[in-house]
Amino acid sequence: MKRLEDIFVALNGWMLILMLSAMALIVGGNISFRYLTAHSFPWADEAARYLMIWLTFTGAGLILRLGGHVAITNLQDALPAKGQIVLRAAIVIGLLVFFGFMVHVGLQYAQRMQYQVSPALRIPFLYVYAAMPVGFGLLIVHLLLIARPFITAGAYKRPDESGTEASGPLPGGGNG
């Protein structure tokens, strides 16, 4: 199971790297083309915008598993150990319900937009709006993979050299 999780995380990370690279190449190429020829690619801004949307939604799961989203831990810190576990379990259940709802809403939006096409690229908006259910689906998978250590110890997966899990506030002053 650990190997499958590692493969899943690596694929998610490489997908983000490829999208960010494509976005950088498109924007950089468009800037170069504009300064060299005084013309721009008419589709470059649109493509970069849609890649940014996909980056945001598909990258949220990796950030979740690292504890990188905003968190206020004052209530948790004030509770006894058993209360902290109950609160974290309630948070996980609440997040799973919310993420599931957002997958449903995202699918509805994508379906409604399937016949409308983007102005420059002429692709159906279905492919743009699909980022929402895909991203929230990835959030569900990432949350399920980290739920047990998070609930029991408040631990997040951290990409450090030792491969150990960390807990507590994030480095840099933010609460985790």
The stretch 10-15 carries a mean pLDDT of 97
The residue type found at 159 is: P
Between residues 168 and 72, the one the model is more confident about: 72
Q: Which residues contact 24 (CB under 8 A, 6 or more apart)?
A: none
The pLDDT of residue 53 is above 90: yes
The stretch 122-139 carries a mean pLDDT of 97
Phi/psi zone of residue 67: left (φ > 0), alpha (ψ -120 to 50 degrees), beta? left
How distant, in Å, are the alpha carbons of 73, 97, 101, 110, 147 from that of 140?
Answer: 22, 9, 11, 19, 10
The stretch 121-125 carries a mean pLDDT of 96
Judge whether 30 and 40 are in contact, CB under 8 Å.
yes
pLDDT digits (tens, 9 = 90+) for 131-176: 999 999 999 999 999 999 999 988 776 665 455 555 554 433 444 4
**In this prediction, what percent of the chain has a pLDDT beyond 90?**
79
The residue type found at 90 is: A
pLDDT of residue 169: 46
Select from 47, 48, 31, 50 the least CA-distant residue to 39. 31
Domain ranges of the chain: 2-167
Weakest-pLDDT range from 28-37, 78-87, 109-118, 165-174? 165-174
pLDDT of residue 170: 40
